[in-house]
Amino acid sequence: MFDTIAAIATAPGGAIGIIRLSGEQAAQAVDAVFAPASGKPFADCPPRMLIYGALRARDGRVVDQCMAVRFPGDKTYTGEPMAELQVHGSPAVLSEALSALFAQGVRQAEAGEFTRRAFLNGKMDLMEAEAVADLIAARTLEAAENAAGQVAGAVGGRMHEARQRLIGLAAQFLAVVDYPDEDIDPFLISQAEEILGQTARELDGLCDSYERGRILREGLPCAIVGRPNVGKSTLLNSLVGFDRAIVTDIAGTTRDTIEETVRIGPLCLRLQDTAGLRDTADPVEKIGVERAHRAAEQAGLVLAVVDGSVPLTDEDQAALERARQAPRAVLVVNKCDKAQTPHIPEGFAYTVQISAKQGQGLEQLRETLLACAGLEGTAFDGGVITNARQADALRRAAESCAQALSAVRMGVTPDAVLLDVESAIGALGELTGQDVREDIIQDIFHRFCVGK
């Protein structure tokens, strides 16, 4: 049986602060520090109903007029009795309320301990628990939507079903292993091919979503590169919607990297405007150019900006070559309003013509950025994998299913097929938490915030 824990569950600075408790003595602990206005003991008040009353400090002084609610039984988030104190958001009041609860034997909750208890009590599987952290950290509506789908079991439920299919198949092959002198029923072979093929395809599809999911969850570092005066800073200002960078006609105005975050639908871009790439004797500008090279090397996406109204220079070619080395690159041909036939370099999968100053082509650029990041047309219903641990387990399960399928088709002995099927079952068990090491569980929940 777990002890009773408590933690502040709201961010500092709000008008209301919530202290959450979980454990068998949750209501009794609140009873010791909270006096309902009705005069009844809090533990005797109706459950799931906000009760108004006074919050008392350790020495009995009233420090707030607040609300409290209790949730009995196991139909709660953690699967055990819970309670909440909803007080005014003063840090002093919250601190004193916690101290008063601790004096009653309640313990400070560790990071992620509420969700860990939910997992250990069978209220959610490990994938759903990890999605709770994604939901809290979501920086776009689509990221929140995907995480909410996973909390609701969009992937976990499918993986439970896949695991059960494989367990049933393994049981049949175990029966065959017990009678080695008998031939394998052709129906079992056909059934195994169908189950293993279907499962491998499903797992491969989820694996393939991971790179998109990683970008959805973490965002994408994006460097804007090009020679001086091609409109990099103007482009940054246009994308972020305000004058973040200084813009002049003087070459070399931008001497350091300027960072700003911009959201384009589901994509969170960490934009870096960089110094113009050119040879320079100015020691300060030279440092800026070196930083621009590093930004391009470390970026997941590079916007290579050229001036389409004039022929390309050697400095343009050097900047383009740098951009082509990036994992993803978009060629941005700027100042197209000044040229009837813009100069457009070749060799880029994504090219957009714009006028950053006039705002022309920016919507097409945004759509191109989504396509380049792999997020265009993606359904964020919980089916996008955002977690490296999950992607690794899915990959191993998919490979084991593929190997088992190949073994079945080659007619190898049932025990050899069984090894691969059991390996896939184990990987799926790691995925959902049915078969996972304690140190992995510890690591997962230590990443959570306290109070969740």
Contact 292, 277 (CB under 8 A): yes
Least trusted range by pLDDT, from 16-30, 230-244, 298-312, 404-418: 230-244
Of the pLDDT bands very low, low, confident and very high (cuts 50, 70, 90), residue 419 is very high
Which is nearest to 26 in space by CA: 115, 88, 101? Answer: 101
pTM: 0.81
Mean pLDDT on 2-28: 94
Phi, then psi, of 261 in degrees rounded to 5: -100, 135
Q: CA 259, CA 221: separation in Å to the nearest integer?
A: 10
- Average the pLDDT over 199-224 and give the result: 93
The CATH number for 216-373, chosen from 2.60.40.640, 3.40.50.150, 3.40.50.300, 3.30.70.100, is: 3.40.50.300
Does the pLDDT value for residue 249 go beyond 60? no
Average pLDDT over residues 330-350: 84
Decide which of 347 and 162 is more confident. 162
Q: Is the pLDDT at 336 greater than 60, yes or no?
A: yes
Q: Is the dihedral of CA 439, 444, 449, 452 positive or negative?
A: negative
Rounded average pLDDT over 384-395: 94
Choice between 337 and 46, residue whose per-residue pLDDT is larger: 46
pLDDT exceeds cutoff 50 at 254: no
Boundaries of CATH 3.40.50.300 in the chain? 216-373
Residue 95: name the closest of 17, 15, 4, 3 by CA: 17
What average pLDDT score do residues 97-103 get? 96
Closest to 227 measured CA to CA, from 282, 307, 153, 295: 307
Is it the case that residue 402 has pLDDT exceeding 70? Answer: yes
Mean pLDDT of 268-273: 85
Please check the confidence at residue 293 and state whether its pLDDT lies above 70.
no
Q: Give the domain 127-209+385-446 fold.
A: Four Helix Bundle (Hemerythrin (Met), subunit A) (1.20.120)
What pLDDT does 213 receive?
A: 93
Residue 182: pLDDT band (50, 70, 90) is: low
pLDDT digit string, tens, across residues 148-180: 999 999 999 999 999 999 999 988 888 776 665
Q: What is the pLDDT of residue 44?
A: 92
- Cα–Cα dist 252/254, whole Å: 5
**Tokens 């919507």, residue located:** 363
Of 40-49, 240-249, 272-281, the one with minimum mean pLDDT is 240-249
> Average of pLDDT values for 97-122?
94
| Residue 426: closest CA among 163, 157, 158 | 163
pLDDT value at residue 178: 63
Residue 74 DSSP class: S
Q: Name the most confidently modeled range: 260-274, 292-306, 354-368.
A: 354-368
* CATH code of the domain made up of 5-109: 3.30.1360.120
Please report where in the chains the tokens 């600075």 appear, as a residue. Answer: 13
**Confidence grade of residue 181 (pLDDT, cut at 50, 70, 90):** low
The pLDDT of residue 242 is above 70: no
pLDDT for 445 equals 83
Say what the pLDDT of residue 323 is: 84
Residues 6+ apart with CB under 8 A from 286: 280
Higher-confidence position of 13 and 244: 13
Mean pLDDT of the chain: 86
> What's the confidence (pLDDT) of residue 180?
57
pLDDT recorded at residue 331: 93
Average pLDDT, stretch 33-57? 95
- Residue by residue, DSSP assigns 343-373 as ---S--S-EEE-BTTTTBTHHHHHHHHHHHH
Amino acid 250: pLDDT: 40
Residue spans in the chain of domains classed CATH 1.20.120.430 = 127-209+385-446
